[in-house]
Structure 1
Amino acid sequence: MIPNDFIQTLLARVDIVDVVDRYVPLKKAGANYTACCPFHSEKTPSFTVSPSKQFYHCFGCGAHGTAIGFLMEYGGKSFPDAVEELARDAGLEVPRSVTPAEDARRVQGQDLTGLLLHAAKFYRTALKEAPRAIDYLKDRGLTGPIAVRFGIGYAPDEWQPLARVFPDYQDKALETAGLVVAGDAGKRYDRFRDRIMFPIHDASGRVVGFGGRVVDKGEPKYLNSPETPLFSKGRELYGLFQARQAIRAAGKVVVVEGYMDVVALAQHGVEYAVATLGTATTAAHVQKLFRLTDTVVFCFDGDEAGRRAAWRALENALAWLADGKNAKFLFLPDGADPDDYIRRRGSAAFEGLVGEAVPLSDFLLSELAMRHPPTSAEGRA
């Protein structure tokens, strides 16, 4: 727990105008500052920041809060992370009332973050020395700048490549971080080998895990980090950290199924896409997205598996729908995925499909009609 008196001291020490202006350019307007609201699409500024009252308020969408609330709503940060950031800026130490177990988890999380960041740097360097992996990315239409933006790397085709950068390869923390696997008879080896590596970032931009795709044919095609103290597939969305500003600018987010879909869409200028990590859309995913935007478009293949995945997304979205919040569904034609479609047809065609996405209510009724046709007893009921 962070003591409430410290929160009040912190808010008195920081200037909300400085905090907001780092992310949203403000203009002086009398005693206050204004801008177009970062939380909804508008042309006439209705977002106001008050230096005397130390809060922000949008007269258009109702967004309102302190400097801490702004970092949480705009940056997608947790309350403790937002407090930590402001405290660092103010030169304050955050006092904590924690149990020894909680403190141990905090220290462990810091240690694992360092290991994952070190591994991400190694994979990026290894990509530069892997012509086969570079050719694969070029064949998929990806350029150097987009690879840099997403931190794409390569895990060499060896059993223990990470031993080059982690001298203590026997360190148990490498297993806990999901980087190393302990096999039979104590033999240890890298979890990711001969794979294109996609770092997965949390809302603060920390690397919390990886997704790896085979370069040639092989199974499994995609391999994620295991569940760790830092990483849970049901909570994280690939590309969300990179897409936050584009999502706000577009007023919507497109949810796709794979890393390559997100990267390919960004390569063609559609920068407001994120991906689930080989799992069904969860309530935590939906909640996180609706904190950033009012419209979520779920994009799936048009086959039976895609419709089942869409139904699970619908079930998890229902609880978070409120006034002004919309969930829509887009089914790509001819079994195409977003990567294939945008490479063949271009961004204008893809964004045209996004604009024609089916509202949740229409998808719900069509699915119910398919599952319970009017000729059945359930359908007539």
Structure 2
Amino acid sequence: MRRVLLEVHRVARDFYRDQLLDAPEGWAAEHLRGRGLGAVLDDSAWGIGYAPDAWTGLTDHLRGLGFGDDELIAAGVAAPTMNGYLVDRFRDRVMFTAENADMEAVGFVGRARGGRVRYLNSPATELYSKSETVVGLSAQCGKLLQGAIPVVVEGVPDALAVDQVGRQWAGISTCGTAITRQHAAMIRQVSPANQIVVAFDADPGGRLGAVRGLDVLMEAFGSVRVAELPPRHDPASLFRQSRSGLNERLASARLLAEFAIDVELAKWGPVLDHVSGQVNALRAVAPLVRQLPSGRVAQQIAGLAKRLDLEPAVVSREVLTPVVRRGTKSRSSRRPQYFEPSAAADPEPDRTP
């Protein structure tokens, strides 16, 4: 069955691609041009297509090639209605192809127009799981093998934008889901570069998503950085405004561990006037400091001492003692232990962490 499902996806991808190329003035092509991404219309590597505005366009095509209804349902490209008719899952959408670690087409992401649900993914199938697939791996494989820095983004248009910034960057989309260990491994297997950049949306959800990806990315890459975008921007919107602006943000990406420290400390703002809040904030970020390159740890310790109004020796002891005791940065010592800031802090707590 797996072989058949892979063939269904290959045929569906080609069908969607032909539909897009047959309507160069249609809304799908105009949508891409309007976002400054018209160049991808001629780039077959991305496999971008269009699902026609018809109930059974793809279904009829696949049936005509001999595929059975059960196979279409199992592949997630069609679904039965309440009346028992089989209809296309994706209709009137710009189509992007999701791939597995072998760069095989195993699912789709469809972008709608108008007031409908903007993005629709394939359902979970024998082949497709959001945690194990990305968009852009095969399209960016050549650049990655030549040393381009992988840039992990949320949306597919973001990956397309990164791709067009220059040969030094390769955009890979997780399709809005959290970065997983499988995602990191997929990218690493085709990337000789030991560095990766995360460029998520400049909103609270994007910042949190970037921080949550730190551990799994550090297992695969020696240097993990985050591109800080202007407020209310994602890579695609910044690219549309300024190609050079996006390139500058990627080039100036900072270490994700340092970014995570800032995000974590921001949670403690209301209680940093009290020593208990300062100490607990230190304990929350200490595991993140230990993930920094050795040459930056001392600088971060000094910075934390100033920001938290604690003695440098106190900060140093909290950060370095677990490393000295274990003799290595074990995975358990690297993972942050998050403390929830309390609404009220003890006004005169013990200063010893």
Contact 1:290 / 1:325 at 8 angstroms: preserved in 2? Answer: no
For 1:292-371, list aligned pairs within 5 A: 292=191, 293-318=193-218, 320=219, 325-346=222-243, 348-371=244-267
Is the counterpart of residue 252 in structure 1 residue 149 in structure 2?
Answer: yes
Contact 2:154 / 2:175 at 8 angstroms: preserved in 1? Answer: yes
Alignment-derived partner of residue 155 in structure 1: 51
For 1:35-54, list aligned pairs within 5 A: none
Cα distance in 2 for partners of 1:201, 1:109 equals 14
Residue deviations 1:168-200 (CA, integer Å, cap 9, x gap):
676201011010012213232110000011122
For 1:181-220, list aligned pairs within 5 A: 181-214=79-112, 216-220=113-117
Secondary structure of the residue aligned to 1:198 is: strand
* Aligned amino acid, residue 180 of structure 1: A
Is the counterpart of residue 140 in structure 1 residue 140 in structure 2?
Answer: no
Give the deviation of 1:337 after TM superposition: 1.2
For 1:1-381, list aligned pairs within 5 A: 108-130=1-23, 131-141=26-36, 142-143=38-39, 146-167=42-63, 171-214=69-112, 216-269=113-166, 271-291=169-189, 292=191, 293-318=193-218, 320=219, 325-346=222-243, 348-373=244-269, 374-376=272-274, 377-381=276-280
Indicate the RMSD between aligned Cα atoms, in angstroms: 2.2
Give the deviation of 1:144 after TM superposition: 5.7
Cα distance in 2 for partners of 1:227, 1:184 equals 20
Contact 1:296 / 1:327 at 8 angstroms: preserved in 2? Answer: yes
Residue deviations 1:297-331 (CA, integer Å, cap 9, x gap):
1112222111121122124335x16xx70111122
Contact 2:29 / 2:41 at 8 angstroms: preserved in 1? Answer: no
Cα distance in 1 for partners of 2:94, 2:71 equals 23
Give the deviation of 1:223 after TM superposition: 0.9
Identity of aligned residues (%): 31
Cα distance in 2 for partners of 1:114, 1:158 equals 22
TM-score by length of 1: 0.65
Residue deviations 1:276-316 (CA, integer Å, cap 9, x gap):
02211112212333342311111122221111211221243
Deviates more, 1:187-196 or 1:161-170: 161-170
Cα distance in 2 for partners of 1:275, 1:136 equals 19
TM-score by length of 2: 0.70
Cα distance in 2 for partners of 1:219, 1:295 equals 38
Contact 1:235 / 1:285 at 8 angstroms: preserved in 2? Answer: yes
Secondary structure of the residue aligned to 2:228 is: strand
* Aligned amino acid, residue 254 of structure 1: V
Compare the two structures and name the one with the higher strand fraction. 1
Cα distance in 1 for partners of 2:196, 2:182 equals 14
Cα distance in 1 for partners of 2:86, 2:241 equals 43
* Aligned amino acid, residue 140 of structure 1: R
- Runs (5+) with no aligned partner, structure 1: 1-107
Equivalent residues, number: 269
Distance 1:120 1:163, change over 3 A: same
* Aligned amino acid, residue 109 of structure 2: G
Alignment-derived partner of residue 35 in structure 1: none
* Aligned amino acid, residue 120 of structure 2: L
Secondary structure of the residue aligned to 1:184 is: coil
Contact 1:212 / 1:223 at 8 angstroms: preserved in 2? Answer: yes
* Aligned amino acid, residue 267 of structure 1: Q
Residue deviations 1:105-147 (CA, integer Å, cap 9, x gap):
xxx1110011111111111121133323222222222136544
Cα distance in 1 for partners of 2:40, 2:230 equals 30
- Runs (5+) with no aligned partner, structure 2: 281-353
